[in-house]
Amino acid sequence: MRFKKPLNLLLKEAAETGEGTLKRTLGPGNLVALGIGAIIGAGLFVRTAAAAADHSGPAVTLAFILAAIGCGLAGLCYAEFAAMIPIAGSAYTYSYATMGEMVAWIIGWDLVLEYAVGAATVSIAWSEYLNKLLENFGVDIPYQLCHSPFQSSLQGVHGIINIPALFIIVVLSLVLIRGTQESATLNGIIVIVKVAIVVLFIAIGWNYMKPINHTPYIPVNTGEVAMFHGQKSFFDFFTHDFGKFGWSGIISAAGVVFFAFIGFDAVSTAAQEAKNPKRDMPIGILVSLAICTLLYVLFGHVLTGVANYKEFAGPGKEASVAYTIDTYMQSYHWLSILVTVAILFGFSSVILVMLLGQSRVFFSMSKDGLVPPVFSAVHPKFKTPYKSNLIFLVFVGLFAAFVPGDIVGDMTSIGTLFAFMLVCIGVIILRKSDPDTPRPFRTPWVPFVPILGAIVCLLMMVGLGEFNWLRLIIWMAIGFVVYFTYSKKHSLIRKGIVSLPRDPEPPMA
C-alpha cells in the first residue's frame, strides 16, 4: 500500500494558512524575472573555474549547455507536479500526495543535500571572496583560519577551520530565528546587480581575451584516444580517465556547473500564481534558462579566454573572477572590488534562502511525523522554527568550517540531480496511476521528455564520479535507517491520523 497524503487535506491546509487564496497575477515576464533572479548565484562565480580547471578547459561553455538541457527537461516535469497541487511548497509536499510516503521521504531527505549542504558550499565561496576583498585593504586572514583541515596552500600550509564561512552561517541562522525577512526591494536590487556584474564582466573582458587560451578548446583526454583506437577497454577508461578533459570531461563539468542552475525550480513553485499556467510555466522556465545559459556560456568563454584554465587549479582557484580581473585587467581594479562586494551580498541572500528553505522542508516533514517534533517547534515570540534553525546551524556550520568547497558543491549537485531524476520518473508513473487528476500544466511529449530528462540528469550524475556516488549512497543509506527506525513508527498517515493542528508555517522571505 502506498501511503499518500490526501489532496483535499493539502488544499484545506493551504486555505487555513492563506496560501489557498493566492491571486493569479504573474505573467510570463514575471516568471522569467523570477527564474533569472533565482538561477544566477554562487555557482557561476565559483563552479565555472573549478569545472574548467579540473574537467573541461575552455569547453566549460558546452558543459553549461548540457546542464541547461537537463534542467529544462526536468523543469517541465517539475512544473506539472507544482500545477497539479496548487499550494506553495517543495517537491516533498506534492510527492507525498502523488507518489506516496516512501518517495516523499527520499526527496525530503535528499533536499538536505540541496539546501543545507548547498548553504555550506555558498558560505565557503563567501569566505573566499571576503578574503579577496580584505586583501585590498591590507588585511590578511591566516590560511589556517579560513580553510578546512583537508586543504593546504601552495606553500604547504594546512588549514584548520574556515572561520569566515562558519561566521556567515551563524549570523544568518540567528537572523532567521529572529524572523527578519529579506526586503523585497533589496532582494530585487541584488538580482539586478548580479546580472549587471555578469554583463559588465563579459563586455569589458571580451577585449582582454587571448585566442591561445582557447587552444585547444576541448583539451585532449589520452584515455579517450586510447579507448577509441582499441588500446584501452571502456572499463579501464571509465575507472581511470573519465572526466579528465575530452568529451567525458564536458559531461563531468556539466555535473559540476549544474550547481549554477540550482534555483530554476523556483519558477515551478509559482504555478498557483501564474495567470495562465499552461502557457506561462514553460515560458517562464525555458526562457529564464535560455537567458541564463547564454550569459553563462559567454561568461565561461570570457573567463577562460582572459586567464588560462590551468591557472584556476593554482593561484586562481579561489575568487576566480576577482583573480582574473586583478591579474589581467589591472586597469579595472575598481571592477574587482565592486564585483567582490556585490558577490558577497548576493551570496548572503542565497545562503539565507537556502537555510530558510531547509527549515520549511523539515517543518513539513515534522508535522507529518517523519522527523522529530523539535523541527516544527515554533518560538513563542518570533514564530520561527528556532530549534530547527539551531540544529541546522550546527550541521551546516560543521560542513562550512571543516569540508572543502569542491566536495560539498558536488554533493549538492548529485543530490539535486537525483531528486530531479525522481521527479521525471514520477510524471510517467502518475500519468498511468492517476490519469484523471486535473493538470493545469501538462509536461509535453510524455514519456519522451521525462525519459530524456532522467537520462540527462543520470548522465551528469555519472560525470560527478564514483566518490560522489559513494557519498550519495551513504547519505541515502543513513536516510533509510532513520526512516525505518523512526519515521514509519511515527508517521501520522500510517497511524490513520490525517492531520495534526498546525502552527502557521514560518513565512518565506
Inter-residue long-range contacts of 177-184, CB under 8 Å, 24+ positions, other chains counted: 177/379, 177/382, 177/384, 177/386, 177/389, 177/390, 178/382, 178/384, 179/379, 179/382, 179/383, 179/384, 179/506, 179/507, 181/507, 181/509, 182/349, 182/352, 182/353, 182/509
Q: Which among 130, 125, 161 is positioned nearest to 143, based on CA atoms?
A: 161
Please give the pLDDT value at position 498: 57
Per DSSP, the three-state class of 453 is helix
Please give the pLDDT value at position 182: 46
CATH class of 27-490: mainly alpha
DSSP letters for 136-158: TTT----GGGBS-TT-B-TT-PB
Q: What is the mean pLDDT of residues 268-275?
A: 65
Single pTM value for the model = 0.84
Q: What is the pLDDT of residues 326-355, one digit of tens each?
A: 999 988 888 888 888 888 887 887 888 788
Lowest mean pLDDT across 227-236, 332-341, 415-424: 227-236
Please give the residue that has the higher pLDDT: either 334 or 179: 334
* pLDDT higher than 50, residue 468: yes
Lowest mean pLDDT across 237-251, 432-446, 447-461, 495-509: 495-509
Q: Where are the chain's structural domains?
A: 27-490
Q: What is the mean pLDDT of residues 273-293?
A: 82
DSSP letters for 10-46: HHHHHHHTTGGG----B-HHHHHHHHHHHHSSHHHHH
Tell me what the pLDDT averaged over the chain comes to.
84
Q: What is the mean pLDDT of residues 64-70?
A: 95
